[in-house]
Amino acid sequence: MSAYGRLQDASATDERWAGLCLLNVGRPLEARALLTRSLERGCMPAAIELATVYRQLGEPELGRQTLQTLTLSELSTFDHSLAELEWGISQLAFGDLRGADEALERAWNLATQTEREGALLPGIGLTLGYVCMAQGADQRALQFVTQALEHAEGLRLLELQTVAGACYTAAGRFYEAEATFKAAGDVTGPGAPTLLYHRAMLARYRGHTREALALFQKSAQQAQQLAEAETECAAELGLVAVHCELGETRRAAKALAHASALHVPARISALVDLRRGQLMMRNGEAAAIEVLTLALKRFGELQLHRERGWAALHLAEAYLTFLKMREALDALEEAHHARAALCSSPVIALELRAVPQVLSFLQAETQPRDLLLDWWACQEQRPRVLRIQTLGGVRLTVNGQTVRPNASLDKSTELLVYLLLHPNQTREQILAAIFPEKYAVNARIYFHLMRSELAKIVDGLTLPYDRETRAYRVEVRGMIVRLDLHELKQILYGARLKEFRTALEKYIGPFLPESETDWVVAERTTVEWLMVRTGLDILEESYQQGEDALCMDLAEQLLQVEPLNEGINTLLIRATERLKGAVTARHTLERVRKRFRDEVGELPTALQWTSLD
């Protein structure tokens, strides 16, 4: 500002940068006057900083209107990137995470095209990291933050280290989170309250409750001194959560009162409702169900799937407390849906520490579900992992080491998988499903032999018999069970291109290929249908968008799953013609026709005559 003061005839551009300096030193009212004058004098990019001023003064809508006066195509790449950054922050302030994400990624891409990317990427990467975290995309956040760290220094470096540590925490990578926070050091002043908050979250998730309380308290105090209302509120809500876990409801109520008095965005406000419901439930108030239901609805509307999952867990805890089992199961299903929306991130399961009845309920189930598996995987003492390969062949491994039963590997695995997918089956049901007629005489002997062999080769795995229900189930102790079929199905439901490519990698052949029992054939048909249905949707979309190379590549891979699918073959031929010409397409057509004649004996309607003939 001293240099600006010495100017005899300051230009509109000089006024813009002087206004930015005033904004950076905490003098927004003076900055507004200078930036307004700069804009009136014809420096259009000053609208970017003026929008920032309006947002900081609590007039975000006026800031958005100011940004919308810009013609982006007339801006330099540098200013275009700044405008997208401010628009993304504005979208975030209004709760539009998807819009914020899109704008910030545009800002990032533009920044990488300038010679001054080092000045832009730290700020963009920081905001984009927070947006990705809010959506539960912690791995994606790390990608941006890690690259931005290369250009950061000072406060921005601290802020980026904080986001990186928070991402590691949410992913259950506690040791990496701890190392990242240690690298940030013990700091005071700007940036410190947020760092303390995320260190407290790490301590809470590791079960170090007293350390978490001290860090949350320190974060809230420093945030109050720096007028950082969002961080202060989040830290107070952290105190509510931990005090509730410890049964210290009076202290929790005090922290909740502090948090409720703060003016915060909708995202944090909904989190206040969640912790209020948690405290009410801890006090035995039936009205907690209504409060938690409202919080769940608000998180859903804001597309905050992580917090939506947390709310669903607390709602399930409340229903279990008041013996509403069906409603509790529905709430748990909602938590699993939220986990799927986060691409199976373990961050929702970390909240299980706060819902002991839900945790006990999940641990009592005969077939562990994903949230419990996530919980086990995030514990410091990690259990063993039993992996069951059923696609393209059969293989059992424990912590990566292959195990082989003396009895038939294929049949033993089929029995194990059948009971994992169909728990609590009677002996008669099992024998009818697993053993074909030729084994009927000795089926009971084979069944008990396989039960015994599986228990011997995998320590902690049993197929116990329940005398009351007269049924069998799979039981594992201190072990996570990973079934490739289950993982593949999870990926396929709602899959887009990225997920579908992962599914294609995982699908290395038919389900239990050596078995032809009815239930296996039905399951095999189902997964193949899922692969083809999902793939055809993506193929059609890529073809319509003119992405012929992608269409051909995916079609060739899909034909490994179902070589005689008329739709896949037709799209392959069309994409080939458009990309490589009629001659190559005609060769492809003849190859396809030959396959149909050899294996089916006739051609489907779409291949009987085409424009290539």
What is the pLDDT at residue 344? 67
DSSP 382: P
Which DSSP string do the residues of 116-181 spell out, in sequence order? THHHHHHHHHHHHHHHHHHTT-HHHHHHHHHHHHTT--HHHHHHHHHHHHHHHHHTT-HHHHHHHH
Percent of the chain residues past pLDDT 90, beyond the cut: 16
The token pair at 340 is 């799927």
pTM of the model: 0.58
Q: Is the dihedral of CA 164, 169, 170, 171 positive or negative?
A: positive
Q: Kindly tell me if the per-residue pLDDT of 550 is higher than 70.
A: yes
Beta-carbon-side half-sphere exposure of residue 207 (alpha carbons within 13 Å):
7
Question: What pLDDT, in 10s, does the model give residues 33-62?
Answer: 887 888 788 888 888 888 888 888 878 888
Question: What pLDDT, in 10s, does the model give residues 109-148?
Answer: 888 888 887 788 888 888 888 888 877 777 788 888 888 8
- Mean pLDDT (whole number) for 182-198: 86
What is the pLDDT at residue 607? 61
CA distance 174 to 352: 16
Which DSSP string do the residues of 99-127 spell out, in sequence order? HHHHHHHHHHHHHTTSTTHHHHHHHHHHH
Q: Residues, the chain, total?
A: 613
- Mean pLDDT (whole number) for 150-163: 84
Give the chain's mean pLDDT: 82
Q: What is the dihedral of CA 532, 538, 540, 546, to 10 degrees?
A: -140
Angle at 57 between CA 60 and CA 239, to 5 degrees: 90
SS (H, E, C) 542-573: HHHCCCHHHHHHHHHHHCCCCCCCHHHHHHHH
List Cβ neighbours of 47 (8 Å cut-off, separation of 6 or more): 39, 66, 67, 69, 70
- Long-range pairs, 328-336, Cβ under 8 A, ≥24: 328/358, 328/361, 332/358, 332/362, 332/371, 334/296, 334/308, 334/309, 335/309, 335/371, 336/369, 336/370, 336/371
Give residue 312's identity as a one-letter amino acid code. Answer: A
The token pair at 87 is 């628009």
Q: Kindly tell me if the per-residue pLDDT of 583 is higher than 80.
A: no
Which is more confidently placed, 408 or 159?
A: 159
Question: pLDDT band at 19, cuts 50/70/90?
Answer: confident
Cα 396 to the center of its chain, rounded Å: 28
Question: pLDDT band at 277, cuts 50/70/90?
Answer: very high
Question: For tokens 């950061």, what's the residue?
Answer: 152
Question: What pLDDT, in 10s, does the model give residues 384-440?
Answer: 788 899 998 888 888 778 886 554 567 888 999 998 888 778 888 888 888 877 566
Judge residue 16's burial from the number of C-beta atoms within 10 Å of its C-beta, 0-12 exposed, 13-18 middle, 19 or more buried. buried
Question: What pLDDT, in 10s, does the model give residues 348-398?
Answer: 988 998 888 888 788 776 666 888 888 887 776 556 788 899 998 888 888
